[in-house]
Amino acid sequence: MTDQASNKPTLTNSDNFINKYVEPYFYRSMRVSILAVIGTYIMAFILFLKGIIKTWYLITDFNKDIDIKHLKIEIIGIADMFIFGLAMMILAFGIYKLFVGKVKPVHEDKNPVWLRNINDFGALKIIIAKIVILVLILLFLELIIENFARFQNGNILNLLIIPTGVLLIAFALKIVEKVK
């Protein structure tokens, strides 16, 4: 229905009901995503805590006989935990910024660049995808260190599976960034 004089649509009773009662509730219901923020932040905290505990054990066991291969694997695993914890924290902040409310730093100039760049869900996914690529690279490095002798003796194709996957993911991410 349109008003003949102004060509503006006229509101029917059902439109008034939707505008008055449904839309405000629907909009406020986005705030339930705070549960995702809390859960993701707890996951980040657990990963940080586990990384700190593993670092402590690594330091206290330093005087014992630890072979270099095991030490490298432990260090990469700890770095992996911290990086993944940071990814969870970035995800928590991004979900909060996009769905719950504005993130207000104590000092405006101290607002991190990555947080300023999260303006939509696509930007958040790209940041997380970059972190996932970094985690996959660390996983590949850990796999090489663990199985170096096996890769020297034969099937080099098994060695290429993970880097090929990481390369394909990175390539797809570049395409997504260019399209955006």
CA distance 42 to 49: 10
pLDDT in tens, 15-62: 677 777 777 777 777 778 888 899 999 999 999 999 999 999 888 876
Please write the tens of the pLDDT for every residue from 69-109: 778 888 888 998 999 898 899 888 888 888 887 777 666 66
Residue 41, pLDDT score: 93
Q: pLDDT (tens digit, 9 = 90+) per residue, 100-144?
A: 877 776 666 676 777 777 788 888 888 888 888 788 777 777 777
User: 121-146 and 156-179 are packed helices; what angle lies between their axes, rounded to 10 degrees?
Assistant: 170
Query: Whole-number mean pLDDT of the chain?
Result: 77
